Amino acid sequence: MEQVVLLAEDGSAIGVQDKAVVHHADTPLHLAFSSYVFDSAGRVVLTRRALHKKTFPGVWTNTCCGHPLPDEDMAGAVLRRLRDELGMTCSDPELLLPRFRYRAEMDGVVENEMCPVFRVLSDDEPDPNPDEVDSAERVPWTEFAASVLDGTREVSPWARLQVPELVKLGPDPLAWPVADRAGLPAAVQLT
């Protein structure tokens, strides 16, 4: 059974819980990540969540999200999920938003996560795993960001919050600065 790391408000680990039962109406704060895969032309890979997902089914979002396993390196977790969900081989993840945190609700199920955000580079074509991803597409970053900011593109609640923060890093996603690890939740292991 896959487990997630439960967190205190200061970002320290306080236990684990089975992933299958952690998301409900009173979801405890836990550790997650979001990643954005860019190709060499600066296009971002967007994914549409599988239609049978418990939360936000069929919603377009960033490339990949997930939860590190207890004692798993966060970069390794990002690469594991990209491989599992999209069959992609990618560069080492680069930290962009160490302090990102969000809470979102859909039909009584709550997401409540400290969720560092990473940039990953790959020109691999996504091969979506239908258990996780309905479809994928590549979109120029500036086009995607503008459509999220002006409200013409519907995306997941976390992507809607992340995009304005990423836009602040500059117009070229391939030139964004890597963030200081000091802002990460204490429970994060990152080599």
Active site amino acids: 65, 113
Q: How far apart are CA 40 and CA 1, in angstroms?
A: 37
Residue type, 187: A
For residues 79 and 86, is the Cβ–Cβ distance under 8 A?
A: no
Phi, psi of 45, rounded to the nearest 5 degrees? -90, 120
What backbone torsions phi and psi does residue 173 show, to the nearest 5 degrees? -65, -20
CA distance 173 to 190: 22
Beta strands, E only, the chain: 3-7, 13-18, 30-31, 33-38, 43-49, 60-61, 64-66, 94-97, 101-106, 109-114, 117-121, 133-140
SS3 168: coil
Query: 10 Å Cβ neighbour count for 113?
Result: 24
